[in-house]
Chain A
Amino acid sequence: MLLPSTLRRLLALTNNSKALLPLRTLATVKEETIKEKYDIIIAGGGMVGCTLACALGKNSVMSNLKILLLEGSPNQTYQLKPEYSNRVVALNQNTKSLMNSLKIWRHIEKARLQPVRYMQVWDACSDALISFSSSDILDDDIAYIVENDLLLHAVNTELASTEIENLKIVYGAKISDYQLSKSDNKTATENIVKMSNGDVYACELLIGADGANSAVRKAMGVQYLSWNYDQMGVVATLHLAEETENTTAWQRWLPTGPVALLPLDNSRSSLVWSVWQDEAKRLLKLSDEEFVDAVNDALWKQYPRSKGVEACVSWMSSCLRKAGLPDGAVRQLPPSVRHITAGSRAAFPLGFGHSVRYIAPGVALVGDAAHRVHPLAGQGVNLGFGDVKDLTDLLADAIYTGYEITHHSWLEKYESSRQRHNVPTQIAVDALHRLYTVDLPPIVLARSLGLQLTNALHPLKKMIMSHATT
């Protein structure tokens, strides 16, 4: 029950537009039950949430803020094993520079990572091919393959090694409910985070980094555009038939979805193979030998081709050759797989998701909570790290300008800058997926010619690369 005096004050404030103090929530949570108040609570300590905590905690402008990171899973101790984990990500140059600025990258380098210096993408239904090479496109590596758990460990090592006094991390945190801040006259009130053990936290700014099924996003009640691809990403650690320098990422477009090999070391690569759900289940049930055969088929098998498409593609090649442009005929042959690491096979559902709003009063979403893409372009977590960078910079700028971290102008700037980058990427990735999961000759022809042309035109290729790395 509200005390009459409180009620009167609240009414007075709402009637009076010159309210000086931001209205507190019409509290169903009494002040005394709140265990602790924070400036920022980050819900979800995956790769994106942890990196955000590190970025906020290290920022000198925010050193006065109290930050809490809530992660559902227990605090795992990490040990670098000789075997690679089956969950890896391809990190682009922008992610590397963020990680470098936070001094996280050195921990990854000390452990292990594999640079990607060459990338070859080709169509199973035609001879079309596109290749990217680090030397002529970026003057730097295209990407780095890093294991998910190693990346998380590197962030945690950095968090532990530097004194970030204003950051607290709670592992094994079960969040039961959110009561989000209400906006009044453009000022946000408090967010309440209730834990299943009865603890209650309050914060000015709540950041949802809780993955594709984000409960924070659901509490915001925003529109979420999503669909399932009815596909699963089958992953495994592959041992290659031959030892090589192995700095090439391979991707072949099969009519059922792309199969990709990401290099791990001289003789091992990580598999990400997108297939329809039934096929994924079948692949998981095969014996290791049968699975290896299936992967080799996916990389090498000739698919039935349309004569017309063949003729057009070879005509295009000859035109490009005459014009002195790369015709894509010089192709490298993909590796063969000898065997797989036992127990490394797994499948993950793939989907598309776009949260129409990334923000609400006093709330912001980052990473997969805000956007989810098909892994075919290896963009997922890189978009999330882009969110981390922009949000950190904008919150720091708000304080440096004397505003609250929840000020709507800065949150809106975060939303629009990120959506301007993320949405086109998501749409392009989705379009590629649609374009390549058909084998109708006219479409195969169109995409093949498109791919050949793109491959031939250096500036276009460069543009694609530079978008994919930012």
Chain B
Amino acid sequence: MALTRRIIKNYWLKNVLDSPKLSKSLTVNALKNENTTVKDEEIKKFSIQNEDWWSLNGPSKALHSMNEVRIPLVRDGLVQFPAEKRNPKPLKDKKILDVGCGGGILSEALAKIGAEVTGIDASKNLIEIAQKHSEENKRLINKPKYLCSSVEEHLNDHKDHYDGVVASEVIEHVDNKELFVKSCVSVLKPGGRIFFTTPNRTRAAQILGICVSEYILNIIPKGTHNYDMFITPNELSFLLERNDCHVEMICGLFYNVLQDRWSFVKPQTLVYAIQAQKTK
């Protein structure tokens, strides 16, 4: 046990120091701004991956396959059709904000089933990638709208605006989580629903999620995550409840690396999803 821990630690240190991506991001001088949840070095981290976003076998592979659980989560949270009344556009007329949309992997998928998606991201580079991909995707008729913005900025003219807000794999990169949750809830219409997916702050998530998947297996790019910034389901529920949201569901998500497949599971120790409704 001690040995494995040491090996993992060595991997960790070696890779952190060697990783040009991270060393670059560490040199970035984060502008301290009390009114933003955006952390510059975290933005930088993502922008470097550029075009790799849309390769199904590239560094964002797990985000692509994660759509197989994220879409049912958002869809069934917002609409419920009996089997004989289903159609290919269940989210038609639903306004959804994808906070931290990155290269648009989730935004396009939600748009595909009818939603009016707005994707925002603090990284200009990523918004450009998302925009470009959506323009070139001939099969996608209903295109998402992309904006380079933080959710706090977006709130200025979108208060009580959306039927759904999704922040998938984002909050773990945010410094001021309280402000972030508050802003995400504020853009939501009363009765609207908010969805988060994020890794849990547990030893298991630290070892499996960060060390193994980032460093050993290379499933996700190195330096993507910083354990101390993770948030537990209890903490997130607390933040949501404090912002007039009723937490409706929390469940675990499991990633089968070999099959590249995600599934809903009971234990919330690694990654979890949370769904809440804005009450007023």
User: Which chain A residues have a beta carbon within 8 Å of chain B's beta carbons?
Assistant: 17-18, 20-21, 60-61, 63-64, 185-187, 396, 399-402, 409
Contacts and interface: CB of A to CB of B under 8 A. Distances in A.
Main secondary structure of the interface of B (DSSP, over half): helix
30 contacts: A17-B55, A17-B57, A18-B54, A20-B54, A20-B136, A20-B137, A21-B138, A60-B84, A60-B86, A61-B86, A61-B87, A61-B88, A63-B87, A185-B56, A185-B57, A186-B56, A396-B83, A396-B86, A400-B75, A400-B88, A400-B113, A401-B68, A401-B75, A402-B71, A402-B88, A402-B109, A402-B110, A402-B112, A409-B65, A409-B68
Contacts of B191: none
Contacts of B84: 60
Nearest to B68: A409
A21 B261 CA distance: 22
Contacts of B57: 17, 185-186
A401 B86 contact: no
Interface string B113-141: 10000000000000000000100111100
Interface string B91-112: 0000000000000000001101
A12 to B, nearest CB: 14
Given A17-B58, A20-B54, A20-B137, A60 B112 contact: no
B178 interface: no
A40 to B, nearest CB: 14
Contacts of B58: 17-18
B90 interface: yes
Most buried by B among A17, A21, A64: A17
A400 B90 contact: yes
Nearest to B113: A402
Given A21-B138, A61-B87, A401 B113 contact: yes
Contact of B72 (A60, A401, A409): A401
Contacts of B87: 60-61, 63, 400
B104 to A, nearest CB: 12
Contacts of A399: 88
Contacts of A400: 75, 86-88, 90, 113
Contacts of A396: 83, 86
A20 B112 contact: no
**Nearest 8 A/B pairs, CB to CB:** A402-B112, A402-B113, A17-B55, A61-B86, A18-B55, A18-B54, A401-B71, A399-B88
Given A21-B139, A401-B72, 15 more contacts: A17-B55, A17-B57, A18-B51, A18-B54, A18-B55, A18-B58, A21-B138, A60-B84, A61-B87, A186-B57, A187-B56, A400-B86, A400-B87, A401-B75, A402-B71
B266 interface: no
Contacts of A18: 51-52, 54-55, 58
Contacts of B138: 21
B85 interface: yes
B133 A20 contact: yes
Given A20-B133, A409-B68, A60 B85 contact: yes
A451 to B, nearest CB: 41
